[in-house]
Amino acid sequence: MSKTPEYLAMKSRTLTLTHDIPISKTKTYWEGLKKGNVYATKCKKCGEIYYPPQVDCPHCLTSDVEWIQIFEGTLETFTQAYLKPQGFTHYEHDYIIAIVKAAEGVKVMGWFEDIDVKVAKVGMSVKITAKTMPDGFPAIVFKPRSQNKP
């Protein structure tokens, strides 16, 4: 993909940047995705639900949360990505990125599958699941619920 510059240019030395992101505190979430489940956290003191999950409640300044599974919601918005950033160019499908409002009130981002972008409609009911991609990365996946089908 490297372009031929119109003017003189020289290559910089290569920088490889890969991080070891700590997930000890959110292990339940990442383990859940492997089993197809999506979790949020709920503060045991004030009851606030957090998605993306966080183990610290900024309202109460406490760190005592329970994990709750979220199952379904309604489609709030979506797009189909034909432009793929570095790290995603090996995926052949043009994934649909969507935001779904879960029954619990929180919103979740994920890939909308088993649907044509031209058929997708704001307000559709979807199931919230997860899967592991062949390259090992997790993905949250929305599936249309049966009542949406013609």
Partner 1 sequence: MKRVAVIGVGNSKFGVRSDATFPEIAFEAIKEALEDIGITQKDVELSVVGTVGSRLYEMYPVPLINEYTGFTLKGPIRVEAACATGSAAVFTAYNAIASGYVDTAIAIGVEKMCEVDTPTSTAVGGRGCYLWEFHMFGTSFACYYALFATAHMAKYGTTEEQLAKIAVKNHHYAARNPKAHFQREVATETILKSRVVCWPLKLYDCCPISDGAAAVILASEEKVKELKAQDPVWLEAIGFGSDTGNLTRREDYTSLRSARIASEMAYKMAKVEPEDVEVAMVHDCFTIAEIMAYEDLGFCRKGEGGSLIDEGQTWIGGKIPINIDGGLKAKGHPLAATGCSMIYELTKQLRNEAGDRQVPLKRYIALAHNVGMTGQYCYVTILKR
Sign, Cα dihedral of 59, 60, 65, 68: negative
CB atoms within 10 A of CB 78: 20
CA distance 111 to 93: 11
Among 46, 103, 119, 122, binds partner 1 (CB under 8 A): 122
Measured CA angle at 118 (ends 143, 132), to 5 deg: 30
User: Within positions 58 to 97, which residues make up the interface with partner 1, using CB under 8 A?
Assistant: 76-89, 91, 95, 97
**Which token pair is 115?**
């649907």
Judged by CB under 8 A, does residue 5 bind partner 1? yes
- Rounded Cα gap, residues 122 and 98, in angstroms: 10
Q: Which of residues 6-35 bind partner 1 (CB under 8 A)?
A: 6-7, 9, 12, 21
Q: Does 52 bind partner 1 (CB under 8 A)?
A: yes
- Closer CB to partner 1, 103 or 109, in the complex: 109
Q: Which residues bind partner 1 (CB under 8 A)?
A: 1-3, 5-7, 9, 12, 21, 51-52, 76-89, 91, 95, 97, 99, 106-111, 117, 121-123, 137-140
